[in-house]
């Protein structure tokens, strides 16, 4: 049943994420022309109007940066819509009258948000890397990015087991994303419960901040502190240690379970869908 709910959610929310994909495509087209201009400039004699062209090129590169930021922000906004608006505002009454359990409904929402977050990231990555390959007709820049990522990974993980640490790091990022989704849904459930009567949107925001601050405090008590800058530069340790990453994942999982249980309990006992 959860799979059916997820399929329906994806179909219903597809239009919600169309602006994200459109922004990514616009950024891809702009990246293509900027990259093409850079390639031609590096292989030809600078023309008399190069100063104007340089200004336009700089503006285009700035526009690409703005588009990337806008795409990330818009993705976050659309995910909030999926997690909050579609549950408690536009489709609230219809959603909570489905012949499914709260656990199934909650699971479908979380999986849908993870799906769209992953798809949006992949689409954006492809849209901005594909023009580089098309213009230069090789994977040179992509290989350079891989080298840079390797340097960053070494800085983060040091001389620890790279494979295990990398897997843990990826799992940590996924668990953090899922945790943020669960906190958002828990905050929304509290704000739309019988405990709150006014300003529910604003209260959901305050609940989210409060719960996340509590998580940050507890996480800071459990996870060992990161090495100092001198230890990273002059020693063999990275900024992140495998044990720290593992503890962070466990903390994320613990809070995810608590927030999920809290959300489902509020839905079953104190939820007020109609505002």
Per-residue pLDDT tens digits for 60-72: 777 878 888 888 8
**Pseudo-torsion of CA 16, 175, 263, 81, nearest 10°?**
-10
Q: Residue 237: beta bridge partners?
A: 158
Residue 134 shares a structural domain with residue 191: no
Same domain, 52 and 133: yes
| Residue that is written with structure tokens 């954006």 in the block | 124
Range name among 31-35, 83-87, 231-235, 265-269 with the lowest pLDDT average: 231-235
Sign of the CA dihedral 171, 224, 212, 68?
Answer: negative
State the residue range of the domain holding 112. 1-138
Residue 264 corresponds to which tokens in the numbers above?
Answer: 């489902």
Into how many domains does the chain fold?
Answer: 2
Q: Band of the pLDDT at 159, cuts 50, 70, 90? A: low
In this structure, the answer to whether residues 76 and 157 fall within a common structural domain is no
Residue 184 sits in the same domain as residue 201: yes
User: Two tokens at 72?
Assistant: 């990330």
Q: Are residues 10 and 91 in the same domain?
A: yes
Same domain, 77 and 162: no
Domain limit, last residue, from 97, 120, 138 = 138
pLDDT at res. 257: 93
Q: How far is CA 147 from the centre of its chain?
A: 23
One domain, residues 152 and 120:
no
**Is residue 202 scored above 60 in pLDDT?**
yes
Contact 252, 178 (CB under 8 A): yes
pLDDT for 262: 92
Mark which of 96, 120, 138 sits at the end of a domain.
138
- CA-CA distance, 53 to 61, in Å (whole number)? 12
Rounded-to-integer distance, Cα 201 and Cα 49, Å: 53
In this structure, are 186 and 201 located in the same domain?
Answer: yes
Q: How far apart are CA 143 and CA 166, in angstroms?
A: 18
Q: Are residues 32 and 58 in the same domain?
A: yes
Q: 216: buried, middle or exposed (CB in 10 Å: 19+, 13-18, 0-12)?
A: exposed
Percent of the chain with pLDDT over 70: 68
Are 133 and 148 in the same domain? no
Identify the domain boundary among 91, 121, 138.
138
Tokens of 5: 């709910």
* Angstrom distance (rounded) from CA 187 to CA 206: 8
Long-range contacts of 205-213 (CB under 8 A, 24+ apart): 208/183, 208/184, 211/183, 211/186, 211/187, 211/259, 212/180, 212/183
Contact 165, 245 (CB under 8 A): yes
Strand intervals (E) in 67-190 = none
Residue 216 has pLDDT above 80, yes or no: yes
One domain, residues 153 and 129: no
Mean local confidence (pLDDT), 157-162: 54
In this structure, the chain runs to a length of 275
């Amino acid at each position: 049943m959860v799979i059916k709910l997820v399929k329906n959610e994806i179909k219903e929310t597809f239009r919600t994420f169309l602006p994200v994909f459109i922004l990514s495509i616009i950024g891809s087209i702009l990246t293509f022309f900027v990259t093409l201009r850079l390639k031609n400039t590096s292989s030809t004699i600078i023309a008399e109007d190069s100063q104007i062209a340089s200004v336009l090129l700089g503006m285009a590169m700035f526009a690409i940066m703005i588009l990337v930021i806008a795409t990330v922000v818009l993705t976050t906004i659309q995910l909030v819509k999926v997690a909050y608006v579609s549950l408690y505002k536009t489709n609230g009454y219809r959603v909570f009258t489905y012949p499914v359990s709260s656990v199934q409904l909650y699971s479908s929402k979380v999986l849908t948000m993870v799906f769209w977050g992953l798809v949006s990231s992949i689409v954006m990555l492809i849209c901005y890397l594909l023009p580089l390959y098309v213009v230069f007709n090789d994977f040179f820049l992509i290989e350079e990015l891989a080298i840079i990522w390797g340097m960053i990974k070494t800085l983060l993980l040091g001389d620890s087991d790279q494979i295990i640490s990398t897997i843990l790091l990826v799992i940590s990022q996924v668990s953090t994303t899922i945790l943020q989704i669960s906190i958002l849904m828990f905050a929304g459930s509290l704000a739309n419960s019988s405990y709150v009567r006014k300003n529910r949107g604003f209260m959901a925001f305050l609940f989210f901040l409060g719960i996340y601050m509590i998580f940050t405090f507890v996480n800071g008590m459990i996870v060992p502190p990161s090495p100092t800058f001198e230890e990273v530069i002059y020693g063999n340790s990275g900024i992140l240690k495998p044990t720290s990453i593992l503890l962070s994942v466990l903390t994320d999982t613990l809070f995810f379970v608590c927030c999920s249980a809290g959300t489902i309990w509020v839905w079953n006992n104190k939820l007020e869908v109609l505002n």
